[in-house]
Chains A and B, each alone.
Chain A
Amino acid sequence: MSQTFFFKKRVRSLVIFCVVALICFASSVMTQFDLSQGIAAIPKAIVWGFSSFYPTADSFVYLSEIWVKMQETLLVSIAAAATAAIFAFVFAVFGSRITKVNGFIAMLSRAFANLSRNIDVSVWSIVLLLTFGQTPITGFFALFIASFGFLTRAFMETIDESGTDPVEALKATGAGYVPTIFQAVVPSSISQIMSWILFMIETNIRAATLVGILTGSGIGYIFDLYYKRMDYHTASLVVIVIVISILLIEQISNYIRRAML
């Protein structure tokens, strides 16, 4: 009895393992990915990193230029998250099952949020590049659309989780729709909402690098510039500035999160 149980379990694990291995093999063939090459690339990259990917005294000349672009990227990321949060809150209120006005509007706002979330930020940035060109506004709108989609879903879940009780209590007193939202939904979910906005800012700074490389603006552009010039010393300084900025923002948001709860 127990022997057949363990035997079946083993066979099942073996089958799952084989299926996963087969899919991986097929994927490797299709993408011409070679795991041994990949593993070999790691020591090569480390050796290269220590031998040429570090800032020298010459590259510090560009520090002020880099910092200007980093500031721009930080502002774009914050502005995109903050404005997207306002729109996302309205859509989340209409889309949440607790506060929805009617089923149709709820479905519509969910569909709209799904559309902007499920299309990758790189797609949005290329579309916006055609009209807004190499400006911070392109980056802003690309991050705005992506943040809007993500935050709407996050806010909707937050409102759903906050429960129906406060909303029903206020409805029972005869409060209108808007007062109900601001006196019941906002107070019970505001700290969670702020936490999501902070998370969005962190995510946006990382995504801004990618958007910058694609659209030629902000910190991503300046990295790409030095990278393509093969000025790896300065490029590494850009990376260091990005890493320090992100870690700093993370520390600040962690502090705010702890103080809020």
Chain B
Amino acid sequence: MKASPKLTNDVFAATDRLPPIKLKKLTKSNIVIRTTMIVLAVLTVYGFVTFNNQKLNFWQNLFATFANFRTIFFQPHFNHFTFSQAFEGVLITLALGLLTTIVGAVVAFFLSLLAAENLTNKTISNSVKTLVAIIRAVPTVLWVLIFAIAAGLGSVAAVIGMSFHSISYLTKAYSESFEELDEGVIEALKATGAGWWQIVFQSIVPNSLTSLISWTFMRFEVNFGVAVAMGAAAGAGGIGYEMFMSGVFYFDIREMGTITYFILAIAIILEIISIQIKARIRA
């Protein structure tokens, strides 16, 4: 009994001499993560310091913004257009998104056959992938505005301009799903003497069809949002244009509320369909 306090003292003395237990190992991964975080934090703080160069009253404007949000979501009304006109605008925007997706999917299908490493060689695959990366680096709105000079502002420039990003995105997605396919299937068909197109249409397409459909629909979901934005920024028409008019020309934020609900409703419907397609494919 008397010995026990002495024993604990000994244990404490022992731990004093030992180096502390390392809880975290400083690996390369940890260092990179921490450095990135610090750099991002510094840039963010620096950004905040430089943003307010026009000496706005920040808090007052922030509260005004919240008041606007409240008006938008709780007091929507129709003023410059009727329900059927708004509905027509939504349909036009959906149609623009759909045409863009189809044009993008068709072109992307052929490009992705060239970009898939198991269907061509490394040189062709890499050059297609680089081309696609450069296309993606130009923002969609710039593609649309650049095409507007050649084709005039309107649906033609919008669809062709918006297709560029869809092509780029879908080529990457399609070619990755082609590359995931089992090499043996292609070899088996090669052994029977099948030509390149026969391999594509008898094994590649049937085997990856479900993921192709899933990717394409996901892009359609994105393209609806893009079409709204292009209506507002590049004269593509549809609900986006109506929103731009009521927001920037009429300053009618209650009408913007109506439009916001229309956009939200379609976006949620598209998301639900997309989730169901994905779930069905996984099953």
Contact = CB atoms under 8 A, between A and B. Distances in A.
B228 A122 contact: yes
Contact of B243 (A38, A126, A130, A239): A126
B102 A41 contact: no
B51 interface: yes
A20 interface: yes
B194 interface: no
A41 B151 contact: yes
A26 to B, nearest CB: 7
Nearest to B163: A38
Contacts of B134: 243, 247
Given A45-B150, A130-B253, A261-B29, A243 B98 contact: no
B276 interface: no
B147 A45 contact: yes
A256 B36 CA distance: 8
A246 B73 CA distance: 35
A129 B248 contact: yes
Interface stretch (B1-9, B179-187, B262-270): B262-270
A197 B141 CA distance: 23
A44 interface: yes
B142 A223 contact: yes
B69 interface: yes
Interface string B145-181: 1110111001111011000000000000000000000
A98 interface: no
A20 B217 CA distance: 13
A174 B232 CA distance: 54
B179 to A, nearest CB: 18
A179 B125 CA distance: 47
Contacts of A131: 61-62, 64-65, 68
A126 B256 contact: yes
A48 B148 CA distance: 11
A127 interface: yes
B137 interface: yes
A211 to B, nearest CB: 9
Contacts of B28: 259
Given A41-B157, A227-B145, A261-B29, A24 B54 contact: no
Nearest to A259: B32
Interface in B225-252: 225, 228-229, 232-233, 237-238, 240, 243-244, 247-248, 251
Contacts of B253: 127, 130
B46 interface: yes
Contact of A132 (B33, B65, B233): B65
19 contacts: A24-B99, A24-B102, A27-B98, A31-B237, A41-B150, A75-B51, A76-B47, A79-B51, A82-B40, A118-B264, A119-B267, A123-B259, A126-B232, A127-B256, A130-B251, A136-B50, A210-B141, A259-B28, A259-B32
Interface of B: 28-29, 32-33, 36-37, 40-41, 43-44, 46-48, 50-54, 56, 58, 61-62, 64-65, 68-69, 72, 91-92, 94-96, 98-99, 102-103, 133-134, 137-142, 145-147, 149-151, 154-157, 159-160, 225, 228-229, 232-233, 237-238, 240, 243-244, 247-248, 251, 253, 256, 259-260, 263-264, 267-268, 271
Interface of A: 20, 23-24, 26-28, 30-35, 37-38, 41-42, 44-45, 48-49, 53, 72, 75-76, 78-79, 81-83, 114-115, 118-123, 126-133, 135-137, 140-141, 190-191, 194, 197-198, 206-207, 209-210, 213-214, 220, 223, 227, 232, 239, 242-243, 246-247, 250, 256, 259-261
